[in-house]
Amino acid sequence: MSSECCYTLSLKNREMKRISQLFKIFSEVNRLKILCLLQKDRLCVCEMIEKLDLPQNLTSHHLRVLEKTRLVTNERKGRRIYYSLTPEGRKIIKPILGLLGRGGAI
């Protein structure tokens, strides 16, 4: 096998792992809801739990998972931490929300 072929296969493996990781993220309905909310505006956890009707600890868990996958970032303002989509997160979530046909409305 040529080194070029190995490089291409390695690149494809990394891409496949990333796609698999994203499918795992999108397979959880609460994470999709969080991404839909963040598509419109940055929010703190207290605003999200109100809109999602989820406990704070579960919302924070999903946000950590989304941050780990580089779809969401946070910024501290005083005592609150505001979450927003990263540029990569916006790029990835836009076509997925388009599939919903509602522009991401929850």
Residue-wise pLDDT tens digits, 18-54: 888 888 888 899 999 999 999 989 999 999 999 999 9
Q: What length does the chain have? A: 106
- Predicted local distance difference test score (pLDDT) of residue 98: 81
Judged against a pLDDT cut of 90, whether residue 102 lies above it is answered with no
pLDDT reading at 87 higher than 90: yes
Three-state DSSP state, 84 = strand
Does pTM surpass 0.75?
yes
Q: How far apart are CA 88 and CA 93, in angstroms?
A: 8
Strands 80-85 and 43-44: antiparallel
User: DSSP secondary-structure letter at 16?
Assistant: H
pLDDT at 2 over 80: no
Count of C-beta atoms within a 10 Å radius of residue 21: 13
Q: Higher model confidence: residue 62 or residue 95?
A: 62
CATH of 28-100, one of 3.40.50.150, 1.10.10.410, 1.10.10.10, 3.30.450.70: 1.10.10.10
